[in-house]
Structure 1
């Protein structure tokens, strides 16, 4: 019979709570996502549709395609199996990525914990005591003993109906925060993969610069040998030999800095892949091992706000701030707390659930703030100000995203022009240096003229290498600026 009463009481609390929750309203503003940018272009003169470049040493032309979607693994467009494998390892082992995953898991569990407030809170307790009562007082048990045992078993139910939607707004806010954390995770992935590709490009550039510098050292050493021989027969002065030695040593002096940068890039690649710097990553990168993507996506601004993780994160934070206004508003309104208790108390354990030992109660309390010195009012105003602040931060994030894409487009256009110009300059300088060597061999020009042609050729080689690397790096920047294609991956995290 006692158990039957308990289940009736429990069922009554659940039915009452559900009815009150379904009939309640949620105070505060309902969230609506800001409208996407109305602009159709990133630059005043309009986004370019293609970037021409001279074929041959300057590389292929790149073309923008507004209908092209970004693949989830956009780095595969560089067609480097070594790079693909390194990024796959990094996504599994990088500690920043792992930390972002755990942060998302924490946010999801926080949402689930808050959703538990929709339901009655039920707890059980057992309280065995031994106590003494004064003789002049009536004992609470039938034996009237002054020293006795008392065991109380009690089941308590507490439920606060979500009359004004405070809990729903709190859950809504936490879900939005979990969404923000999900996009933070995607931003972490995008930053990690972009940094890895850029580090690979930088390594490839440094290897090419070291090779070009070493070739120049070999060439200059041969010229020095010839100059010393000519000096021995009186055809070249000591000043000419000293000048050639100075040029050679200056070139040699540039190698340690390049090798230092290469070693640091190798350390960076190892750490990004979740390894210690002393561990060899295996992969080695050259400019020829990386293929420049010829077709590039160009997302319209209205779609950009859907794709950029930072914009989506700002949107989720704005949503969370909006819901907090409702939480603060609901705190100023009356609330109901329903409680129920059922249990048994006896002085003998074997009669704990016997006849006459049971007790129960059910009640409801209505509470309403009457005077708090303006605390709740100002908390609501603070929440409203935070909402407006988040709206301005969202707007700032969108503007920064548009600028980021525009800057990248300008850079890519300039890269194509610089690449073509550097290729022409390198070919002209190489031809000039070849002619100068032949002229010097027959005595038509001075040593100074030869050295000038040599320095010009070396600098043109390095400029071409750097221009080529810049084109790769800015192509990476475009994929990053457009969001990186996370929406096309199969392992995208989903917030509750």
Structure 2
């Protein structure tokens, strides 16, 4: 009984150790993301966010943006926008996957230790006595290392590299799109703030005019029809003030979503950014009329499409290599002994070497179909690359076509505002002199208000065109190439 108890102790110890190890959990502790929900669901809820140093450096390098406020808002978006975070994480995922495929070029070396202890009962033993057998081994070796005669593993590694480079291009494309979207949202907010200010100024002037008309009506100098017409202009302006107040709040919410948090009030656009009486505009670097095609080939989306084409081309090589024989090697060296303390003693060395060749004979056409799939994917990638290049040319050509007419359109609209302002002043003077009726004043007033609103819209569209052109050219890197081309031309 005592011998049986001693024999069972290692078994019990091993079972206890296995139970303790099975309780280990290497997964990180889940924590619910905090700080995403503000205390109240209301406009401008949430604490302002801060930009990282790298984002600030990138934003300050955007010389085409003249507004320092907008540059800082761009930096905030680059630090906190969730879509950009997803793109960055996808790039890191592709980098890790490329590391996995690249590791297949080298053999995987593993160390293994093994110990066995068994008891044979007396009834099963030839000697008629129970016995305890022990065996210990330690080995170092590699398993199923493929000799890459036909380039299958190399092509898979190349496909993984191109997939990583494609994800990097996608990340840069998301970043450029984010800068453009933030700029457009910031400018749209500025335009609606200018429209709101114009509506408020118009309401104030019309309320003054209504008060004057009401006093004139009370003393019998004008009719009730004129008073009612004047009141209708006041109410119309009041409706516009309410509508633009709501729109400004919606624009601010859209900007907060793009940034990934609340934007500090001092970084929001001022009322005068796109006001009617302010001609200051954001500056975009001058672009030559004849752009070199290399500029468009540097666009991140075009480069991503080319990397995808390269990956599909490498996959063809991997699929073709599967048609040929493959040779794998398995080998190990180590030591074996019946006693643990003599495991690494003299005369205990062991080794094994097992080459294996595999030749596909009948696969039901699976391997050849795999080659056809790879070739079809390559043709699809080629068409996608060509479409990306064509799209790049179209977007830049459209932006340049609009760019050529913006100066004339803005000049004409500015002249229209001045002309309608003069017409309104004259009609109002003629009404007060008793020469014209109030309908002339109303028409001139509506024309002036519409012309001012149109001027704000045109200024916004002109600014968005500059942003669109920057985005179509591929961002800051493409502008650097453009500047270099200009220096060469000089």
TM-score normalised by length of structure 1: 0.78
SS in 2 for 1:255: helix
Per-residue CA deviation, residues 343-371 of structure 1 (Å, 9 max, x unaligned), is: 22222111112233322111211111111
Tell me how far apart the structure 2 counterparts of residues 134 and 375 of structure 1 sit (CA, whole Å): 53
Per the TM alignment, residue 468 of structure 1 is displaced from its structure 2 partner at its CA by 1.2
> Which piece of structure 1 moves more, 152-161 or 183-192?
152-161
- Selected match of 2:154 from 168, 178, 184: 168
Q: Deviations over 1:312-331 (max 9, x none)?
A: 11111111111111111111
CA shift in 2, pair 1:268/1:75, >3 Å: farther
User: Counterpart of 2:136 in 1: which secondary structure?
Assistant: strand
Residues of 2 paired with 1:438 and 1:80: CA distance? 41
Q: 2:427·2:441 contact (CA, 8 Å) conserved in 1?
A: yes
Alignment partner of 1:474 out of 438, 451, 465: 465
1:177 aligns with 2:167: no
**Contact residue 321 and residue 387 of structure 1 kept, 8 A:** yes
CA 1:259–1:214 in structure 2 vs 1: closer, same or farther (change >3 Å)? same
Deviation at 1:307, TM superposition (A): 2.1
CA distance in 1: counterparts of 2:451 and 2:204, whole angstroms: 17
Q: Does 1:260 align with 2:246?
A: yes
1:283 match: 267
- Secondary structure at 1:297's aligned position in 2? coil
Aligned mate of 2:92, from 105, 108, 112: 105
Unmatched segments (≥5 aa) in structure 1: 1-70, 490-496
For structure 2, the 5+ residue unaligned runs are 1-57, 481-490
Partner in structure 2 of residue 432 of structure 1: 423
Q: Is the contact made by 2:473 and 2:479 (CA closer than 8 Å) also made in structure 1?
A: no
How many angstroms does 1:219 deviate by? 1.6
CA contact 1:72–1:487 (8 Å) conserved in 2: no
Paired position in structure 1 for 2:343 = 352
How much has 1:228 moved relative to structure 2? 1.4
Say if 2:207 and 2:234, in contact at 8 Å, map to a contact too: yes
Please name the residue that 1:14 is paired with: none
SS of aligned partner of 2:332: strand
Match of 1:42 in 2: none
Q: Deviations 1:168-227 (Å, cap 9, x if unpaired)?
A: 111111111111111111111101111111122112211211111111111211221222
Relative to structure 1, the CA distance from residue 204 to residue 377 in structure 2 (aligned partners, 3 Å threshold; closer, same or farther) is same
Measure the CA separation in 2 of the matches of 1:290 and 1:201. Answer: 13
Change (3 A) 1:315 1:361: same
Q: CA-to-partner distance for each residue in 1:436-482, whole Å, 9 max, x for gaps?
A: 11111111110111111111111111111111111111111111111
Q: What residue is the counterpart of 2:29 in the other structure? A: none
Give deviations 1:260-307, integer Å, cap 9, x for gaps: 2211222222232221x4x63531212359633265224625223322
Q: Pick from 270, 274, 286 the counterpart of residue 296 of structure 1.
A: 286
| Larger relative contact order (CA 8 Å, sep ≥ 6) | 1
Contact map agreement 1:80 1:290 (CA 8 A) in 2: no
Residues 295 and 127 of structure 1: CA distance in aligned 2, closer, same or farther (over 3 Å) = closer
User: What residue in structure 2 maps to residue 21 of structure 1?
Assistant: none
Contact 1:184 1:313 in 2 (8 A): yes
TM-score under structure 2 length normalisation: 0.79
Q: Which moved more, 1:100-109 or 1:458-467?
A: 100-109
Do the aligned residues in 2 keep the contact of 1:419 with 1:464 (CA within 8 Å)? yes
Q: How many residues align?
A: 415
Residues 14-413 of structure 1 correspond to what in structure 2 (within 5 A)?
75-132=62-119, 146-158=131-143, 159-275=145-261, 277=262, 280-285=264-269, 286-287=273-274, 288=278, 291-293=281-283, 295-298=285-288, 300=291, 302-413=293-404
Question: Structure 2 matches for 1:415-494, cutoff 5 A?
Answer: 415-486=406-477
Contact 1:201 1:469 in 2 (8 A): yes
* RMSD over equivalenced CA pairs, Å: 2.5
> Residue 137 of structure 1: CA displacement?
8.4
> 1:133 Cα shift?
5.1
* Conserved? CA contact 1:80–1:289, under 8 Å: no
Do the aligned partners of 2:119 and 2:132 also contact (CA within 8 Å) in 1?
yes
Residue pair 2:64, 2:285 contacting (<8 A) in 1 also: no
**Residue 43 of structure 2 aligns with which residue?**
none
Counterpart-to-counterpart distance in 2, 1:457 and 1:484? 39
CA distance 1:124–1:250, shift in 2 (3 Å):
same
SS in 1 for 2:346: coil
